[in-house]
């Protein structure tokens, strides 16, 4: 069956996602046409195609144990000179993203992997383009702001053309599963 390249991310909803993708294209980042606007939880990772059911079960269990959270983007930052990236900053919701990405990549799990750099939630708006274009992206989006409630994340697969396609959404439980104390298990609905 071979291998596939998967990623897990939180989609930036409309109208924000399209707007930031258009900006990225306008700055000269042609790869943006095949990359939905997102906050990464798992960077591109090669896995055996046969592992997908196990991976989907793993992600479903994570989503079932999570709850919706507020995300807010504001302003820009860069990873230069380490990496040629300009991004919009996650100023609220970053700790929830950190919690999720740790569980996605948990040791011994189907997506266990080390990162090249420490995890830093962000939305890329320019990658691998000229320094002048990256400077422009950082300046033009310096006051950009968006906020929404995150209610889940998605599994993406990279196609042969390099474009990323969503394969499955995983919605958070409104209230995460918790074990009820034994004393509460035998109460009537009215008493609970």
Predicted confidence (pLDDT) per residue in 45-68, tens digit? 999 999 999 999 999 999 999 999
Exposed, middle or buried: residue 74 (CB in 10 Å: 0-12, 13-18, 19+)? Answer: middle
Check whether 35 has a pLDDT greater than 70.
yes
Within-domain flag for 185: no
Q: How many domains does the chain have?
A: 1
Within-domain flag for 71: yes
Check whether 187 has a pLDDT greater than 90.
no
**Domain extent for 101:** 3-173
Phi, psi for 135 (deg, rounded to 5):
-60, -40
pTM of the model as a whole = 0.87
Check whether 186 has a pLDDT greater than 50.
no
Within-domain flag for 114: yes
Within-domain flag for 16: yes
What is the spatial distance between Cα 135 and Cα 126, in angstroms, rounded to a whole number?
9
Within-domain flag for 191: no
Within-domain flag for 184: no
Residue 176 is predicted with a pLDDT of 53
Averaged pLDDT, 150-174: 95
Within-domain flag for 9: yes
CATH code where residue 58 lies: 3.90.1140.10
Within-domain flag for 188: no
């Amino acid at each position: 069956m071979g291998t596939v390249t998967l990623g897990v991310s939180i989609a930036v909803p409309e109208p924000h996602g399209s707007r930031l993708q258009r900006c990225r294209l306008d700055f000269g980042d042609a790869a943006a046409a095949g990359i939905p606007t997102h906050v990464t939880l798992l960077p591109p990772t090669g896995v055996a195609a046969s592992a997908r059911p196990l991976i989907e079960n793993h992600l479903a269990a994570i989503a079932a144990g999570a709850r919706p959270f507020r995300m807010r983007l504001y302003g820009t930052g860069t990873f230069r000179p380490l990496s040629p990236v300009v991004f919009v900053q996650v100023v609220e919701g970053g700790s929830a993203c950190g919690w999720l990405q740790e569980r996605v990549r948990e040791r011994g799990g189907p997506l266990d992997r080390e990162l090249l750099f420490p995890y830093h939630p962000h939305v890329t708006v320019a990658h691998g383009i000229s320094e002048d274009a990256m400077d422009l992206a950082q300046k033009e989006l310096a006051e950009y702001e968006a906020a929404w409630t995150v209610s889940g994340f998605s599994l993406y697969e990279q196609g042969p053309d390099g474009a990323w396609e969503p394969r499955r959404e995983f919605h958070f439980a409104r209230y995460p599963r918790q074990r009820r104390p034994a004393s509460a298990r035998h109460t009537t609905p009215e008493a609970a």
